[in-house]
Amino acid sequence: MQSKMARRKFLKTVGVGALATVGTELLGPSMAEAAPQGATSYESKLPRFFAGCCAYSYRAELTHGPMTMEDFIRKAVELRLDSVDMTAYYFKSTDAGYLDGLRHLAYKNAVLFSGAACGVSMVQANAAKRADSLNEIKKWVDVTDRLGASHLRIFAGKLPPGATLQQAIDWVVETMKAACDYSGQKGIMLGLEDHAGVSQSADVCLEVMHRVNSPYAGINLDITHFVPTATQDSYAQIAACIPYATNTHIRDHFDDHSPIDMDRVWQLFAQAGFRGYMSAEYESNLAEDPVASTGVPKLVAEIRALCKKYSSA
């Protein structure tokens, strides 16, 4: 088990300059040589960025109407997007016919599914509840497979009362390792989001990746959520996790409402040779909340421009 001090030391070595040699210096010789056993080495690869959008961006319209997931797929065409992230909360059902219909509609509109997402928490002190969480993840792996997608976003969860962070990490590793064994049979990546709770720091995310040690484990990298420390700001933590990034969620502000230097973020991903989806996850940063119909197109336009600027695609 990697100690907290070791995790801190690992993170401190990461910076923009280190990304050019991320294959060996960041991951270490054993991880760099065995790319199938965890992170992919992006060394000497041209970056490829594709603009996407998460269904969460239209959460009000999808939750209360009038938008459906079918409408969301059509909206991607209007926004000139390459892909959409299919958040499971807004599915009408998980019946095969419904999922097949979404898959067919996406194909007819030349819209790719960058992945699906479920809200299962892996931080469960009770072994029976951890087993339930694993079964739920397996269910959503099957849904993802039915959609024809190759990525499922999952969450660690919030630290339960009375539990230590190390205990929580152990539970996440246990569940995610078993979940990857299952998802790997279908060729589906599991992306652990750096979300509010246990996985809100890069050192925790990296420890989980190292210990799960699966070619089907990665980080659903949301650039907004890392909590800055005295030695590692949010940008350093983003950079540290890029070698494990499976999919990326983009907003234009951090959780504390400070603005994100979007060009700097794209530079980090480009220098690492990232290949994947940069998906808008719109959430207003204003006291008077503009509707998604105004905010999403603006954010998407910025994402498309940056993808064009830095991508080899």
Q: Give me the mean pLDDT over the 173-188 stretch.
A: 98
Contacts of 17 (CB under 8 A, 6+ apart): none
Write down the pLDDT at residue 45.
Answer: 80
User: Whole-angstrom Cα distance, residue 242 to residue 16?
Assistant: 11
Q: Give me the mean pLDDT over the 240-259 stretch.
A: 95
Which tokens go with 303?
A: 């994402």
Task: Determine, yes or no, domain membership for 35.
Answer: no
Task: Determine, yes or no, domain membership for 22.
Answer: no
Task: Determine, yes or no, domain membership for 220.
Answer: yes
User: Whole-angstrom Cα distance, residue 247 to residue 270?
Assistant: 14
CA 236 to chain centre: 17
Beta strand pairing call for 245-250 and 83-87: unpaired
Write down the pLDDT at residue 287.
Answer: 54
Report the CATH number at residue 292.
Answer: 3.20.20.150
Task: Determine, yes or no, domain membership for 247.
Answer: yes
The values of phi and psi at residue 86, to 5°, are: -90, 90
225 with 219: CB under 8 angstroms?
no
User: pLDDT tens for residues 54-66?
Assistant: 999 999 999 988 9
190 with 229: CB under 8 angstroms?
no
Which domain, by its residues, includes 230?
44-310
Number of domains in the chain: 1
pLDDT at 8 over 80: no
Write down the pLDDT at residue 280.
Answer: 97
pLDDT at 3 over 50: no
User: Whole-angstrom Cα distance, residue 23 to residue 281?
Assistant: 29
Task: Determine, yes or no, domain membership for 18.
Answer: no
User: Whole-angstrom Cα distance, residue 233 to residue 235?
Assistant: 6
Task: Determine, yes or no, domain membership for 252.
Answer: yes
Task: Determine, yes or no, domain membership for 228.
Answer: yes
Task: Determine, yes or no, domain membership for 238.
Answer: yes
- Give 293's pLDDT tier (boundaries 50, 70, 90): confident
User: Whole-angstrom Cα distance, residue 283 to residue 300?
Assistant: 12
